[in-house]
Structure formats: C-alpha cells, structure tokens
Structure 1
Amino acid sequence: MNRVYLFLIVSMIGMQVFSQAKKPVADFEEKVFDFGEIKEDGGKVTHSFTFKNTGDQPLIIHNVRASCGCTSPEWTRQPVQPGKTGFVKATFDPRNRPGNFNKSIMVYTNGQESTIVLRITGKVLPREKTIEDIYPRAMGPVRLKSAHFSFTRIDPKAVKTEELELINTSDNPVKIEFENVPKHLQLKMEPETVKPGQKGKIVATYDASVKNDWGFVVDQIYLKMNGELNRQNRLSISATIEEDYSKWTEEQMANAPVIEIDDRVFDFGEIKQGEKVSHAFIVTNKGKANLILRKVRASCGCTAIQPDKTVIGPGESTKIVAIYNSAGMSGRQNKSVTIYSNDPKRSTLLLRLSGTVVK
C-alpha cells in the first residue's frame, strides 16, 4: 500500500510540473526602455518590446493598457506559437509634456505570468516658445498673456494691484485706452503707446471698499486701440471679496456668529413645465454675536427673496424664500442659492433646490 501511495504522490507532482511546463511564457528581451533625451517638437517616438514564447502552448495577449493617454500601445494580435516571437509596441507623444517621464504599459496574457509590466522612460527637452505660446490671447494688433485679471481673494476693505503683460505684434505703434471702467477699478497702460515689437503691461488696481459687494464678482472692460473700440477686445476682471479670518484668536472664534440652516437641500419632486415652486430655508444664528447676512444670490432659473432681516441676533432665526420658475425647462434640475455671511467658519454657504420638470 505504501508503494501505491508513493506512486500516486509522485504522479501528482509530475502532473503539476507537466501542467506548469505546458503554460505559455512571454520572455521579453527587456522590460524597461530609456528613450534618453527627446525634443518636445521632435514628434512621436516608438519602441518595440520583443518577446519569445518559451512555453509549450500558444501565448495570447488579451489586452495592453498604458498608464496615460500620451502612450499608444500596439501588440501582436494573433496567438504566438511556442518558440515564436511577438511584440508590444509603445508610442510616446512628447508634445506639451516637457521634463522627465516614466510610463508603464500593462500587458495581460494567458501565460504563466498573467500580467507583465513594461516601462518607457526618458526626458523631454522643452521646445523654444513662440510669441503665440507666451502671449496666447490675440486682440487686434496686440497679443496678451491672458484676457483675464484674477484678483482671487480680497478683503472687503483692501486695495490690490495686478499686472498683465502684452506685446505689440503689428508694424505700427498702438495706443491703448480703456472703456467701461467702473469706479472701483483703475487701469493704466505702461507705456501708454506700445511700439512695434515692444512689450507693455496693463496695471489694474482694485478697491474692494468701493465695489461694496461680496463673494465672486466679475467686471468686463473693453480695450480701445488707436481710438477705435472693438467689443471683442474685452478683459474680464474677477475677485472673490470676503473677510480674512485667518488671524482671529481662539477667543474671537468662540464668540463669533454661527450660521445654521434647517435643511440645505430641497427636492421639489416632479412638477409640470411652467409651474413655480417655492421653499423657505430657515436660517438660525447658533453663535454668540450678531449674524450678518451680507448677500443672497440665486443661480439661473431661481429667485431668492431677501430675508426679512439681515442682522440676526444669537438664537434668532429668519427665512430665505427661494422661488423656482420651470418655464422653458425640462428634465432634471439643480439650482442653487448662495449665502454670504460673517460666520468666520462658513462665510459662504450653498443651498440647493432640485427636482424634475416634465412637459
């Protein structure tokens, strides 16, 4: 009996070894390839990883996936017979990707190693930037680095200055002036007249106390060139006006107002097109100082009625009524109401109305 058991054990081990030997094996000559230094504007580069099936069964590559869209893989689609060779080709596009790169290519097979990782590495040398690259926004005879001044966050009593560079790409001098400038903004051109090929800059100064607003605000300014006004030559100037509470002490924070809303999301369900629906959001001050509602702004399709009072004492409440008009609307709707207050932890609070409009 012992001999029988020994024979069975040896037979099972032999079958396992035989089974493993029968599996296909993708034996790659290399799994990492370094392209070295390549130029950003030199076009795509390609490398073919070659492998040999050293197993006893046909090898099938089920799929190949690259770690990013800048690498396009190709591979042998037909089964690779034992002793034969196949390939996985990786193509890398260096355009707009200066600097070092290290990309992986995942190869999925029916072989002994079901997932194989290949890598391509290298360094993309940046191309020389053109005038169009440096100044992408064209406005008549000049090009600008941007058509947008962003003042980001600004205190409601602060004055802030930003600059925007431009270049005259024409053959004639260009005198630049500004139209539709509101009182809270001052704009000047340095120099006032820009010679052909010369660089200049627009200097904008933003006085938030004069703007007297809250939250994200945008103004549109027009450029007049050599006395001519073209409405397409437009600059947008944005700012987020809110108080800076970062320097407040723990005591100040503990004694501050705290805004609370009974329910910040209202689902009006399903309504017919043309119907109106309203909802009252209850705003309560849970803090120790007066809560001031600076501003209430509704998104498109929704109207927020200003609350009965904008100064709410500790423990007091008020209502903000939002009215949604479904005229001309259909399908799923998501509208918002933004509240700006003096709560140092939640100075901007978003309320939502959602539902479905059917015809």
Structure 2
Amino acid sequence: MKKRMFFILAVAWVSVLTVSAQDKPKTDEYPTQIGHLKFNTNQLMMQNINLTDSKTDTLKMLNEWNSPITISFPGLPEHITCKSVPESLNPNQKGYILVTYNAAKRNDFGYVYDRLIIKTNDSLQPDKTISISANIVEDFSKMTPKQLKDAPKIQFENLVYDFGTINQGDKIEYDFVFSNTGKNDLIIRKTKGSCGCTVGTPEKSTLKSGEKTKLHVTFNSAGKSGQQSKTITVTCNDPTNSNAVITIKGNVNVAAKPVPQEQPIKQ
C-alpha cells in the first residue's frame, strides 16, 4: 500500500513539473533584454523591398516584470507603422509587434536604416530602441523583352582609380566619366560611399541616349593610413546594372613623428 501511494505521489509531482515547464515561456527565444522587456532581436532586417511595395515583419517580446507593461510608438516616421498585440503585456506574458515598412513613402534607394522607439512604463528603461534596415530596390522582373531592349544602360570609362601614394590629411578628387549607351533615359537614383570619407556627386542625374557626364568623387584621407580601397555605389534604372560600383584606392602615408631632442644639462 505504501509503495502504491509513493508511486502515485511521484507521478503527480512529475505532472506538476511538466505543466509548470510548459506554462513558463522559453526565455532563450528572447535573447535581447531591454529593461524588463525581452525581445527575439534588436535588429529587424526587412531585406529587399520593391520601391512600390510594403513589407510587414514581426518583433516578438516577453514581459519579465512583476507589473503590466504598456506599449506605444510616438513619433513614427511616415513610412513605418506599428501595432502591439496586445497593447499591454501582463507579467510573464508574450506578445508581438507588427512592423510595416512602406518603401514608396521612404522615397529612397539601396540600404537604409531607421530607429524604432518603443515607449513603455517600464521602471528600468521606458524608451527602448530597435534598429530597422531595408534594401529598397527597383523591380525590373515584369519588363517585357522590348522594354529590356530599349532600357537605359550605364557605361563607365573606368571603374577603378588608383591615386598612388598621398600624405595623411590630403584630399583626392577624381571624375569618373560615364554615359548612357541604352535607348531610354538613364536616371541616377542615388550615390552612396562605403564610408563617410568618400563622396560621389553626379554632374547630371538624367542622361538621354548617347549622353555623357561625370561623377565627381572626393576622398578625404584624414585619420587614414596604409592601403585604402573605397567604393561608391551608383543606383540607377539600368535593369542589368542597377547598382554599379566604382572604386578609388591608394596608399596613405603617415609622416613620422619627430624625435624630441635631449636638452643639454646646465652646469
């Protein structure tokens, strides 16, 4: 009788442990902690979004506080909308945020970055920041064979410029010459350097068929040393080369610091 009673108690205890484990959220699903809220990530990557499209992604969250947490999104940019489900998370409750990104309203091209501010009543960190990235692209997939044949085409005379060796602090300027060898107008959507030290500015942003222009590139070597290789991405409406990449490179020489002279000891 005692053995049977012990067996029943053991089974009941195991059942209680199993139910408790199932009820408790798996915290490893939410590795990012900001205050009392845990998230599955602090970087929402939308990947590629067509210029005229919108895209929705989900940000999961978990309340580890002993009080309800209210969630709102003040000051959102026009191209981002958010909805918290639910709007208030009870202790140990899961929820999620639906984030919709409107590429047409962003009015940009290529890789872009935004910050999402989540306002809460959390005592530790009421304002929480999530990074949002997207790559806004132009969709050429629906173009007909005739449209592709008549499309604009970007053609650079050279894709690489080697400025040789310069001294740290020098500025290099160079003009990359390019033309439209296609039939329809070539439109330069955007130019973006691989770092803030390199800037590219097109002389014209719209080229007729057969027209030629320059992309003026400036490289600032302040704070640089050794071999340097910087790129500029030229985003345009050429369906076969919508992100043309040019490179400026060379060596930055750092002047040796003068060795201080020893002062003679006065007798």
What's the TM-score, normalizing by structure 2? 0.81
Higher RCO structure (Cα 8 Å, ≥6 apart): 2
- Report the Cα distance in structure 2 between the residues aligned to 1:261 and 1:229, rounded to whole angstroms: 54
Q: Is the 8 A contact 1:285 1:314 kept in 2?
A: yes
1:177 and 2:72 are equivalent in the alignment: yes
Structure 1's 229 and 243: CA in aligned 2 closer, same or farther, altered over 3 A?
A: farther
Question: Which residue of 1 is the match for residue 192 of structure 2?
Answer: 297
Q: Deviations over 1:295-337 (max 9, x none)?
A: 1112324343422211111111110011111112111111111
Separation in structure 1 between the aligned mates of residue 242 and residue 188 of structure 2, nearest angstrom: 9
Distance apart, 1:274 and its partner CA? 1.1
Q: Which residue of structure 1 aligns with residue 181 of structure 2? A: 286
2:112 equivalent to 1:217: yes
Q: Secondary structure at the match of 2:172?
A: strand
Alignment root-mean-square deviation, CA:
2.1
Please point out which of 208, 214, 231 is paired with 1:336: 231
Equivalent residue number for residue 199 of structure 1: 94
Given residue 142 of structure 2, which amino acid in structure 1 is its aligned partner? K
In structure 1, stretches of 5+ residues that fail to align are 1-127
Task: State which of 324, 344, 347 in structure 1 corresponds to 2:219.
Answer: 324
1:99 match: none
Deviation per CA, 1:73-101: give whole Å up to 9, x if none: xxxxxxxxxxxxxxxxxxxxxxxxxxxxx
Residue 172 (structure 2) aligns with: 277
Could you tell me how far 1:218 is from its partner in structure 2? Answer: 0.5
Amino acid at match of 1:150: M
- The residue aligned with 2:121 is 226
Counterpart-to-counterpart distance in 2, 1:305 and 1:228:
46
Query: Closer, same or farther in 2 for the Cα pair 1:346/1:141, shift >3 Å?
Result: same
Conserved? CA contact 2:202–2:216, under 8 Å:
yes
Match of 1:353 among 239, 243, 248: 248
1:158: Cα distance to partner?
1.4
Q: Report which of the two structures shows the higher radius of gyration computed on alpha carbons.
A: 1
Matched, 1:152 2:16: no
Give the Cα separation in 1 of the matches to 2:108 and 2:124. 29
Cα distance change of structure 1 residues 294 and 222 upon mapping to structure 2, 3 Å threshold: same
Q: Distance in 1 between matches of 2:75 and 2:198?
A: 28
One of 128, 136, 139 as aligned partner of 1:241: 136
The CA deviation string for residues 181-234 of structure 1, in whole angstroms up to 9 with x for no partner, is 211111121111011121111111111111100101000122222177949831
Please tell me the residue identity of whatever aligns with 1:243.
E
CA distance in 2, matches of 1:285, 1:343: 9
Determine if the alignment matches structure 1 residue 168 to structure 2 residue 87.
no
Offset from partner CA, 1:1-27 (integer Å, 9 cap, x none): xxxxxxxxxxxxxxxxxxxxxxxxxxx
1-structure distance, mates of 2:122, 2:37: 14
Partner residue in 2 for 1:257: 152
Q: What residue is the counterpart of 1:132 in the other structure?
A: 27
**Distance in 2 of aligned mates of 1:239 and 1:266:** 30
More strand by share: 1
Name the aligned partner's letter for residue 167 of structure 2. Answer: K
What is the count of residue pairs matched by the alignment? 232
What TM-score results when the alignment is normalised by the length of structure 1?
0.61
Q: Does 1:268 align with 2:156?
A: no
> What are the Cα deviations for residues 160-189 of structure 1, in whole angstroms up to 9, with x where unaligned?
222111111222111122345211111121
Distance, in Å, in 1 between the alignment partners of 2:43 and 2:56 is 14
Contact kept, 8 Å, 1:222 with 1:229, in 2: the verdict is no
Question: Is residue 51–residue 139 contact of structure 2 (8 Å, CA) maintained in 1?
Answer: no
Structure 1 residue identity aligned to 2:105: V
Tell me the SS of whatever aligns to 2:73.
strand
SS at match of 1:138: strand
Specify the code of the residue in structure 2 equivalent to 1:284. Answer: S
Structure-1 separation of matches of 2:218 and 2:75: 33
Per the TM alignment, residue 278 of structure 1 is displaced from its structure 2 partner at its CA by 1.1
What secondary structure is seen at the aligned counterpart in 1 of 2:66? coil
Change (3 A) 1:232 1:352: farther
State how far apart, in whole Å, the 2-side matches of 1:195 and 1:299 are: 44
> Conserved in 2, the CA contact under 8 Å of 1:222 and 1:230?
no
Structure 1 residue 286, shift from structure 2 partner? 1.1
| 5+ long unaligned stretches in structure 2 | 1-21, 255-267
* Off by >6 Å, runs of 4+ in structure 1: none
Query: Can you list the C-alpha shifts for 1:99-120, whole angstroms capped at 9, x where unaligned?
Result: xxxxxxxxxxxxxxxxxxxxxx
